Chains A and B, each alone.
Chain A
């Protein structure tokens, strides 16, 4: 199972909005709504920010939102803040009782 495709890096200035894409196939992202997004700060464990494509867990800022179109899921962060600088990973169920992660995107807040 190949990893989902994410851009290696994105950047934005405080207050701006950015979007991170996550492209899979019609056997994973395109076929299931079990897409999640995780934020990982250096030296820390990942933390779920979005699950089931667009649901935000309790305690996660409403500046984070998720969506999906076809085989591509997206994470949008609005009103960028310096603490948003981190690595972001998407994941998807694959239909073969397995899960696949994206390669990760490094977000830099300039």
Chain B
């Protein structure tokens, strides 16, 4: 069973950037897409986007398209999700999961809390 391990919590100021990592056991990202989902405190899940191996297939939620960058480093089996120009409403737990637009999200990482505060 694939396991996803995410990077630790981050505290950032408004306008800064944050890069969250998601390391998979085995060579998972060479053959499986990754999806990113976030959850603001006390709120529901928000789909952010997905990226397939070799950038063959990708999309980002329209409201985040100009601030979110997703990448995969297959040499280390690690996926990254960067959010630029952070705002207070970007405060959330960010999750990575294996799967894409037409596939179930399974498994999920443990989540990374990103706090944006001045």
Contacts and interface: CB of A to CB of B under 8 A. Distances in A.
A45 B104 contact: no
Given A36-B105, A48-B106, 8 more contacts: A36-B104, A45-B110, A46-B108, A51-B104, A52-B104, A93-B101, A99-B50, A102-B44
Contacts, number: 61
B44 A104 contact: yes
Interface in A25-69: 34, 36, 38, 40, 45-48, 51-52, 57
A91 interface: yes
Interface of B: 35, 37, 44-47, 50, 59, 61-62, 95, 97, 101-106, 108-111
Nearest to B63: A1
Contact of B47 (A48, A99, A103): A99
Indicate the size class of the contact surface on chain A: 20 to 34
Contact of A98 (B59, B103, B106, B111): B59
Nearest to B109: A45
A85 to B, nearest CB: 17
A48 B105 contact: yes
A32 B48 CA distance: 20
A98 B110 CA distance: 23
Nearest to A95: B101
A102 B46 CA distance: 9
| Most A C-beta atoms less than 10 A away, residue of B45, B61, B110 | B45
A57 B103 CA distance: 12
Given A45-B95, A45-B111, A46-B95, A98 B47 contact: yes
Contacts of A46: 37, 45, 95, 97, 105, 108
